[in-house]
Structure 1
């Protein structure tokens, strides 16, 4: 009801604030018997962690995860798994000037009217810092899906501000701070340096992919797999658009092109993004997300205070000039959480259904 929990059978409840003592999540519904340690989770948290390059916030958080419950002698017990990440580098004094004003483009105004108060320190509950517990929970889902089906997840940036990023290969993504699928990222380094000097910010576009996804995940109508993916992705801070497969490009496609032909060797294409009728086809799940420019910037902007009087707002503190730079592991985690939940739901409803025809191979781009 309060909007802090994602999932039906694999439920993740996120808690904490940006400048509170800790943030974390409780995972309910993880099957028992899976080997799990902090090391299984920490790798993805390190990929999302702040302070990893000059192009992201310089808040220095180790994001060390602690498993508080749900694991005994190295294996999940089937009971709730509590994960805790302590905040260690808060600078709440940076936000004293905005206690009574509203930052343009931020959640301040909406939070104030909904709750009657707000935590201004680093955005409080609306901070992108709250994506760390999501990444931690996603690491648990990734591990289970990998062991059960061989499912793997990856994401890359396809556009930074006005600059499109061509796709050269997935092997480049871990080797640069932009999660960019290219060998040379100097143009993007220069772009971000100029943006920071201008006290401005930019948006980004990302591609998210899951491979080796089992056939049959999802439901018709209201619990469609693609609808739940879009719902989860829109829960990521600053996301303003979600595409599945060809997405908006399908508007310009003809039916003779968009419809993915089936052959004995597999699908001929994947414009549907791995989902037909709300149910996975066994092809790669392909998702695109659009992320808006960071709202917290140093450039002065007009706004109002809580009394409705005009003011000029300058947001101090340490912020990402492009929140999309660290979004790849978060988007992977959200996709994993949705697929994990649907895998358990499918097993509960259709675990005894025999396949009359073996699934065909998935087309590879």
Structure 2
């Protein structure tokens, strides 16, 4: 199976299945002398782990990261960093009823046809359990970016038809503190309460609902991004679209920009001392595929979780019509746990492009 690696200079490869012994990641290209804060890495994983609240799957996993290589005395050595996360609470019997049936909107059918074999226990490699390895790698990328003053913040900005108001994004640390005070991970407390009530009702009805995550990346230097095919927003889009259940990505003004006139949408340059900025930021901090020094902003849309606690019509491997029942432990809404995954993938993209910037740009410092 190809497609298990991501990035060029800061490159990761993940491995493992939902119901295997462990999942893990190899990080290749992390520069030396980065402070590898294991408590921070674990705290990032804790934000993604299952069983953390009443609106997430009740699978009980500590998601305890074990660093096997690439560090010495708390710092990266410049050699590959290997991290494994043991699986502790597999209940493979929960999936025995679907071993020969195709779950609607899952990867069961496509995996079976493509490979001639599939791990029906939780979806195997197609399971969102794989994203824990990405979060561990993203935490290392964040520690590297911290040395360069780059901040990344994401939060749940929409669930179903509920939308949070636009944030005053001057203080990301304050927004982070507010976000972590509610189980939905929305930085607006009033909207978070409304979202939680709605998700709970959806869960009681045996259904699921999608949502949206908004992201801000701050203090990115001018010049990250490679024309023509490796534009910064193109790599961010690929990173986000690689996350389970993601069905949409937009940056800056996004689809709303298609309704505007050029005279409304153009970001006018101004100079304040030695700093050049723009009055508006419809470009989302990226112009011509290259960062322009403004905040990078984008939004990621997640579909409803495919497993619902209701009977659905489907077919089996013989092509016969049958019925499938939703069982097991699943999220009624994936976005509260996906916030940290979005941040992790964004960190991996920025870290990779920062290394390219330093390697290729005559103005890098």
Q: Indicate whether the TM-score tops 0.5.
A: yes
1:8 and 2:8 aligned:
yes
**Aligned-pair RMSD on alpha carbons?**
1.3
Give me the TM-score of the superposition, normalised by structure 2.
0.94
Deviation at residue 336 of structure 1 after TM alignment: 0.5
Distance 1:117 1:70 in 2: 35
Structure 1 match to 2:153 = 154
1:304 and 2:315 aligned:
yes
1:353 and 2:363 aligned:
yes
Structure 1 match to 2:331 = 320
What secondary structure does 1:27 align onto? strand
Distance 2:121 2:353 in 1: 36
What secondary structure does 1:36 align onto? coil
1:260 and 2:260 aligned:
no
1:182 and 2:193 aligned:
no
Distance 1:62 1:176 in 2: 20
Note the alpha carbon deviations across 1:192-245, whole angstroms, 9 max, x for none: 121111110000011011111111001111111110000010000000000011
Distance 1:113 1:90 in 2: 26
Structure 2 match to 1:75 = 75
Note the alpha carbon deviations across 1:93-152, whole angstroms, 9 max, x for none: 0000000000001111111111111001111111111111101100111111111x2001
Structure 2 match to 1:358 = none
Distance 1:183 1:307 in 2: 50
Distance 1:186 1:10 in 2: 38
1:330 and 2:341 aligned:
yes
1:231 and 2:238 aligned:
yes
Structure 1 match to 2:354 = 343
Distance 2:292 2:244 in 1: 29
Structure 2 match to 1:192 = 199
Equivalenced residue count is 353
Distance 1:130 1:4 in 2: 10
Say whether the 8 Å CA contact 1:215–1:281 is kept in structure 2. yes
1:138 and 2:138 aligned:
yes
Say whether the 8 Å CA contact 1:38–1:66 is kept in structure 2. no
- Which consecutive residues of structure 2, in runs of 5 or more, have no partner in the other structure? 169-174
* Greater Cα shift, 33-42 or 263-272: 33-42
Say whether the 8 Å CA contact 1:19–1:124 is kept in structure 2. yes
* Greater Cα shift, 170-179 or 249-258: 170-179
Deviation at residue 341 of structure 1 after TM alignment: 0.3
Deviation at residue 354 of structure 1 after TM alignment: 7.1
Distance 2:257 2:164 in 1: 21
What secondary structure does 1:142 align onto? helix
Say whether the 8 Å CA contact 1:98–1:315 is kept in structure 2. no
What secondary structure does 1:158 align onto? strand
Say whether the 8 Å CA contact 2:358–2:364 is kept in structure 1. no
Structure 1 match to 2:100 = 100
Distance 2:42 2:347 in 1: 16
Deviation at residue 353 of structure 1 after TM alignment: 2.9
Deviation at residue 315 of structure 1 after TM alignment: 2.3
Structure 1 match to 2:171 = none
Deviation at residue 186 of structure 1 after TM alignment: 2.8
Give me the TM-score of the superposition, normalised by structure 1.
0.94
